[in-house]
């Protein structure tokens, strides 16, 4: 693939790539930017080359996922080496990322209560999605937010199609059950 084509493809997929990087980095935008930059550098320097065995988007998401895993391992090793086990961090990181994610949801000219309600529903959905086991969460994100097929999601995650299908179905079932428990009864986004 020529350099100009590569740049065009990366630029066109940047919003989706950032969304996937956020998922791979527990919704931490700073880490997602770092991972995305490292993935782009790998690609532009030729350390990761597109072979045409899948769609460009599927391949790119695989590079981002592997880069995020490498960065996570490095951070953990650095913390273990220099800081000690007590500072490894816990669930507070996810809560902080969620808090950053929340913004004013009131629609212009609309009822503020409706905006607050929608914001609360969205917060609950993201919280329940984040609470799913990793593979289920990643599979649902790739299918719902990145519009990948299950086969493409399986390639990105490095699992078989059957495994991806199982993670997808179990994740949907668990997410739906939790949202019903919380009183959110609309199934509109879960019927896909």
d(CA 101, CA 95): 10
> Model confidence at 161, in pLDDT bands (50, 70, 90)?
very high
Task: Determine contact, residues 56/71, Cβ cutoff 8 Å.
Answer: no
Residues ≥6 apart with Cβ < 8 Å to 118 = 105
Region of residue 126 (phi > 0: left; psi between -120 and 50: alpha; otherwise: beta): alpha
Question: Quick one: pLDDT at residue 26?
Answer: 87
Domain-wise residue ranges, the chain: 1-91, 106-183
Residue environment code for 45-58, b if the CB has 16+ CB neighbours within 10 A, otherwise e: eeebebeeebebbb
Q: Which helix (H) or strand (E) holds 56?
A: helix 56-82
Please write the tens of the pLDDT for every residue from 28-58.
Answer: 999 999 999 999 999 999 999 998 889 999 9
Region of residue 132 (phi > 0: left; psi between -120 and 50: alpha; otherwise: beta): beta
pTM: 0.57
CATH topology of domain 106-183: Arc Repressor Mutant, subunit A (1.10.10)
1-91 classified as CATH 1.10.1740:
yes
Please write the tens of the pLDDT for every residue from 100-110.
Answer: 444 444 344 45
d(CA 121, CA 131): 15
- Cα separation values, 90 from 94, 95, 176, Å: 8, 10, 26
Please write the tens of the pLDDT for every residue from 72-122.
Answer: 888 877 766 554 444 434 443 333 344 444 444 434 445 567 777 777 777
Question: Quick one: pLDDT at residue 93?
Answer: 38
Task: Determine contact, residues 127/184, Cβ cutoff 8 Å.
Answer: no
Percent of the chain with pLDDT over 70: 77
């Amino acid at each position: 693939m020529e350099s100009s084509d590569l740049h065009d493809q990366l630029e066109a997929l940047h919003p989706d790539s950032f969304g996937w990087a956020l998922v791979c980095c527990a919704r931490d935008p700073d880490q997602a930017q770092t991972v995305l930059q490292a993935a782009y550098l790998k690609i532009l320097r030729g350390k990761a080359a597109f072979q045409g065995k899948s769609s460009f988007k599927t391949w790119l998401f695989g590079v981002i996922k592997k880069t995020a895993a490498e960065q996570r391992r490095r951070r953990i090793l650095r913390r273990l080496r220099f800081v000690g086990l007590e500072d490894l961090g816990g669930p507070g990181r996810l809560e902080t990322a969620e808090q950053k994610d929340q913004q004013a949801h009131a629609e212009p000219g609309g009822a503020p209560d409706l905006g607050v309600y929608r914001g609360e529903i969205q917060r609950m959905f993201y919280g329940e999605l984040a609470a799913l086991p990793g593979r289920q969460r990643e599979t649902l994100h790739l299918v719902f937010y990145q519009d990948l097929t299950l086969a493409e999601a399986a390639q990105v995650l490095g699992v078989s199609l059957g495994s991806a299908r199982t993670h997808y179905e179990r994740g949907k079932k668990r997410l739906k059950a939790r949202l019903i428990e919380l009183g959110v009864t609309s199934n509109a986004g879960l019927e896909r």
